[in-house]
Amino acid sequence: MASTVLIVSASLLALFFFLHSADADVGSNVFSIQSYGAHGDGRHDDTKALGDTWAAACSSAKPAVLLIPKGKKYLIKHTTLSGPCKSSISLMVKGSLVASPERSDWSKETIRHWILISGVTGLTVTGGGTIDGNGKIWWQNSCKTNSKLPCTEAPTALTFYSCKNLKVEYLKVVNSQQIQISVEDCTDVMVSRLSITAPETAPNTDGIHITRSRDVEVTDCMIKTGDDCMSIEDGTENLHVKNMVCGPGHGISIGSLGDHNSEAHVNNVTVDNVRLYGTTNGARIKTWQGGKGSAKNIVFQNMVMDNVWNPIIIDQNYCDSSTPCKQQKSAVEVSNVLFKNIRGTSASEEAIMLHCSSSVPCHGITLENVNLTVKGGIDLKHEHPWTLEDVEK
């Protein structure tokens, strides 16, 4: 009995020291949004308070923490948080940031972004809280939902532009207006432990979008969304994706590359240990005719698919256009692609589609240990049974 008490009090002591030292560590360098006039009630506009807190934290000479406190909800309109900052900075989201539900809060100039973080070196975004794009009004007004409406742009919930040494971890990102997280022109990026969710019917809500970025790691994320779980676009180099759960959604996609006769390059991408549930695609590479450049040194391995429409697909004749795409002479070269240890079920009879270009045919494509059977049923369940823990085993 006595020894039990001792153990309990010893661990309480340890906990106390841990909290205490953590406090002492950050100490005066915590910049709480509450100290900059925020309401935190989810009704009043806290955009200015967020901007002011960022300005203070970003000009701190010592490593700074911008705190979004737990239990509070901050209504935020379009905002840009820019660097460079004087020191490293953590955006600690413990509570929630919620986007304004008014489309009129965005102008033609700002419509592509909700929260844009630009030009910061040594940024960590973490805290276990929620980033809520409040996207319903945007989905309802999308031409993909209602074909009578004109097609317009919508904000990406969280954009990282031109950041170096970036970490994004332990967050819930929900109901983005359009793309959920976009990493653009960044280097040395770690994205991990995110839960990303939007309804299957929410148009263009790609989970994690990566472009013009190098040395990127994405691990341990759970993505349920209305478009690609991950879209890997032009200019991605050295990307390692590991331990992911995806579905519903459109799967993990490299591309589309080479639209409007553009040049695109994707090099050295590994996608490892992924489960896909009821997605339209599994491992996909898609390029338009008429493009230039290359997608090469790509590995998709250790994947489990459950009722996926196109489990393995390379499409060099991709055409997402209202008018048919004409035959063209040039194409993005697709080479050195390995699909290895892929098993599970296909919802369609064509589990593997290699739709290569007739002018620049894909080459160096290897399929190794692939076992896919037809499930024969389109009755997709909307909740997948896996947790991240299943993947980590």
**Stretch in the footprint of ligand NAG (CB under 6 A) among 111-119, 236-244, 315-323, 348-356:** 236-244
**Catalytic pick from 113, 250, 260, 382?**
250
Q: How far is the CB of 307 from ligand NAG (least distance, A)?
A: 13
Please tell me the distance from the alpha carbon of residue 125 to that of residue 192, in angstroms, as a whole number.
11
Closer CB to ligand NAG, residue 146 or residue 373? 373
Q: How far is the CB of 370 from ligand NAG (least distance, A)?
A: 9
Closer CB to ligand NAG, residue 121 or residue 238? 238
- Which residues 265-294 are close enough to bind ligand NAG by CB under 6 A? 268, 270
Q: Is 134 helix (H, G, I), strand (E, B) or coil?
A: coil
**Stretch in the footprint of ligand NAG (CB under 6 A) among 28-36, 57-65, 220-228, 235-243:** 235-243
**Stretch in the footprint of ligand NAG (CB under 6 A) among 15-23, 115-123, 233-241, 348-356:** 233-241
Count of chain residues binding ligand NAG (CB under 6 A): 7
**Stretch in the footprint of ligand NAG (CB under 6 A) among 35-43, 110-118, 238-246, 285-293:** 238-246
Tokens of 302: 């250790």
Q: How far is the CB of 34 from ligand NAG (least distance, A)?
A: 40
Show the DSSP H helices in the chain as ranges: 2-26, 47-58, 136-140, 388-392
- Is 340 a binding residue for ligand NAG by CB under 6 A? The answer is no
**Stretch in the footprint of ligand NAG (CB under 6 A) among 125-133, 139-147, 152-160, 237-245:** 237-245
Please tell me the distance from the alpha carbon of residue 297 to that of residue 338, in angstroms, as a whole number.
8
Sheet harboring 156-161: ordered strands across? 79-82, 113-118, 156-161, 181-184, 208-211, 230-232, 252-257, 281-288, 310-318, 352-355
Please tell me the distance from the alpha carbon of residue 319 to that of residue 286, in angstroms, as a whole number.
9
Rg (CA), the chain: 22
Closer CB to ligand NAG, residue 371 or residue 387? 371
Q: How far is the CB of 343 from ligand NAG (least distance, A)?
A: 6
Q: Phi, psi (5° rounding) for residue 350? A: -105, 85
C-beta atoms surrounding 217 within 10 Å = 16
Binding residue (CB under 6 A) for ligand NAG from 100, 211, 238, 328: 238
Closer CB to ligand NAG, residue 93 or residue 183? 183
Please tell me the distance from the alpha carbon of residue 288 to that of residue 328, in angstroms, as a whole number.
9
Q: How far is the CB of 270 from ligand NAG (least distance, A)?
A: 6
Closer CB to ligand NAG, residue 29 or residue 238? 238
Closer CB to ligand NAG, residue 185 or residue 237? 237
Q: Is 221 helix (H, G, I), strand (E, B) or coil?
A: strand
Q: Is 250 a catalytic residue?
A: yes
| Residue 68 bridge partners (DSSP) | 93
- Is 192 a binding residue for ligand NAG by CB under 6 A? The answer is no
Binding residue (CB under 6 A) for ligand NAG from 327, 373, 387, 390: 373
- Is 374 a binding residue for ligand NAG by CB under 6 A? The answer is no
Please tell me the distance from the alpha carbon of residue 150 to that of residue 144, in angstroms, as a whole number.
9
Q: Taking the CA of residue 106 as centre, how many other CA atoms within 13 Å lie in the half-sphere pointing to its CB?
A: 24
| Residue 337 bridge partners (DSSP) | 298, 365
- Is 187 a binding residue for ligand NAG by CB under 6 A? The answer is no
Q: How far is the CB of 247 from ligand NAG (least distance, A)?
A: 19
Please tell me the distance from the alpha carbon of residue 250 to that of residue 376, in angstroms, as a whole number.
19
Q: Which of 187, 188, 197, 245 is nearest to 219 (CA)?
A: 245
Closer CB to ligand NAG, residue 240 or residue 292? 240
- Between strands 96-99 and 292-308, the pairing is unpaired
- Is 371 a binding residue for ligand NAG by CB under 6 A? The answer is yes
Residues noted as catalytic: 250
| Interface with ligand NAG (CB under 6 A) | 238-240, 268, 270, 371, 373
